[in-house]
Structure 1
């Protein structure tokens, strides 16, 4: 059976833990060459070492997705190290949920910087290469909060609703322009990652922790979906995936 993952060069943001780490390891096992970015270089170094110990190919670089130059630099690392770029998985994100009445405005703006501006920066970094080669695959992590509203998640949900429109327009424009850039937006429900650690509002944090303890599943499940998207034939795209625990009513 033909594998469309083997040999692909994939940049992954938010790669130091959770969904990003699980995806990096899975894709490397499937023969992809992964380029990992996140703010915590020590964790990236550990993951790269583990991938290489299992005979995979990986490099990493410290990345703050809110800085355009750092997004450009990790794309250049992929080109310099592996000679190309086939896909980007825009996975970096923050979820410091709270009621609007709590007025945690610094957290609002930080979510917009990471969840929205970080995606814009990532796409801006890869588009020149994708357009020139007339191929590329952009995958982004949204959330079920990008499909329905939840109390406490007004700003977070807003950033994730943005992704739904942005990624779909990218797909439509590419199809019209003949640049063959495919997109996939993933909407996870309760996945056991570090997201809850960013919630400073104690009441919101307690509720989220209870929900995730009851329903949460492993980030490997999302990694499987990313691999599925990347393994589709070049003439096919599945542009949206909603994924979560089978027993969670969402």
Structure 2
């Protein structure tokens, strides 16, 4: 458990399931005050109640990362309530797998809006607050798909390559704000449950069932990056199942 001086105010997007929910539980158990955001308010309420019941500290707020004003309000309420924002975990993401010739343009745009634009909105919302304090930590959840391209995943990979690139650019621009990009491989989550080509999504689910690591393993990697002492920046963490090619 962290001491009071080590306790951080941590914003987590996409916190209602998967990596976001696991990260909320892990950081809450570590003694940080987690501020949870997602569209599914009922799930956020249950998660926040569970963290508090276990002795942690949690707030929650409905959040749409594709809406800049929603993200600004999410960060602004946290800042007003707690006086600072120490960390944001830009985790919200969607993955609709299909070949490009299927021309599922609405799903392409959704991945761009959530995965990339949502991350940019998170950065835009907290960067002025962190710059004013001269301290802060931005953690962007990318994917091993930021480092390779697979059939049916071209657009998803493109968005995650972009998240990696903007994270590296922000790192190079920053001297007082830490920047980490965490890239998970196959992880147990709801990513393959919605949208995409049914066959492609089913194949991804089958692979995940064989290989996937628990979301808690990724949460541990995020906790590791956040726990580094001031002046130490864990810029990039890639975590995947040992058996993943």
2:205 aligned with 1:205: no
SS at match of 1:241: strand
SS at match of 1:49: helix
Which residue is 2:170 aligned to? 170
1:77-136 C-alpha deviation (Å, 9 max, x unpaired): 211222211000000000001000111011001110111111111100001111100111
Runs of 4+ residues deviating >4 angstroms: 1-5
What pairs up with 1:207-226 in 2 under 5 angstroms? 207-226=203-222
Aligned-residue offset at 1:3: 6.6
State whether residues 87 and 137 of structure 2, in contact with CA within 8 Å, keep that contact through their aligned partners in structure 1: yes
Which residue is 1:187 aligned to? 183
2:31 aligned with 1:31: yes
State whether residues 33 and 82 of structure 1, in contact with CA within 8 Å, keep that contact through their aligned partners in structure 2: no
State whether residues 31 and 56 of structure 1, in contact with CA within 8 Å, keep that contact through their aligned partners in structure 2: yes
Which residue is 1:46 aligned to? 46
User: TM-score with structure 1 length normalisation?
Assistant: 0.95
Which residue is 2:95 aligned to? 95
Which residue is 1:246 aligned to? 242
State whether residues 98 and 199 of structure 1, in contact with CA within 8 Å, keep that contact through their aligned partners in structure 2: no
Change (3 A) 1:5 1:17: farther
State whether residues 5 and 230 of structure 1, in contact with CA within 8 Å, keep that contact through their aligned partners in structure 2: no
What pairs up with 1:18-167 in 2 under 5 angstroms? 18-167=18-167
Change (3 A) 1:7 1:115: same
The CA RMSD measured in Å over matched residues stands at 1.5
List alignment gaps of at least 5 residues for structure 2: none
SS at match of 2:174: helix
Relative to structure 2, which stretch is displaced further, 79-88 or 130-139? 79-88
State whether residues 9 and 84 of structure 1, in contact with CA within 8 Å, keep that contact through their aligned partners in structure 2: yes
State whether residues 4 and 232 of structure 1, in contact with CA within 8 Å, keep that contact through their aligned partners in structure 2: no
List alignment gaps of at least 5 residues for structure 1: none
Change (3 A) 1:100 1:4: farther
User: TM-score with structure 2 length normalisation?
Assistant: 0.97
Change (3 A) 1:169 1:7: same
Aligned-residue offset at 1:198: 2.0
